[in-house]
Homo-oligomer: A and B are copies of this chain.
């Protein structure tokens, strides 16, 4: 038992405690640059998107970092890559569940006044 970690990851909720291991890749990805935008954009219209669609939707973003992020999201089965004539990305079921919660969070923020 890792006392340090156990003590560090308690988040109290109505229904009890949840334990966040911030070293979990999926938790770690969440806090990385562009993750929230990529997931939000990829779910638009349930469409697939190729790399340029994604990169062009985030002007000024580093294409290298977007590429890293897509790779990490694919590793965590949050998005999937279809390699046909054009390589396209789309959200998995996990990805859609995450996007829904992310959009909800963005709405909370945008309602700040």
Contacts and interface: CB of A to CB of B under 8 A. Distances in A.
A90 B34 CA distance: 28
Contacts of A40: 11, 20
A13 B97 CA distance: 13
Interface in A1-19: 4-5, 7-8, 10-13, 18
Given A8-B57, A20-B106, A101-B105, A31 B36 contact: yes
B8 A109 contact: no
Contacts of A44: 10-12
A4 to B, nearest CB: 5
Interface string A88-113: 00000010011011111111111110
Interface of A: 4-5, 7-8, 10-13, 18, 20, 22, 24, 26-27, 30-37, 40-41, 43-45, 57-59, 77, 94, 97-98, 100-112
28 contacts: A7-B57, A7-B59, A8-B57, A8-B58, A8-B59, A10-B44, A11-B40, A11-B41, A11-B43, A11-B103, A12-B44, A20-B40, A22-B58, A24-B109, A26-B109, A27-B106, A30-B36, A30-B109, A31-B31, A77-B112, A94-B112, A97-B111, A98-B105, A98-B109, A101-B101, A101-B104, A104-B104, A105-B105
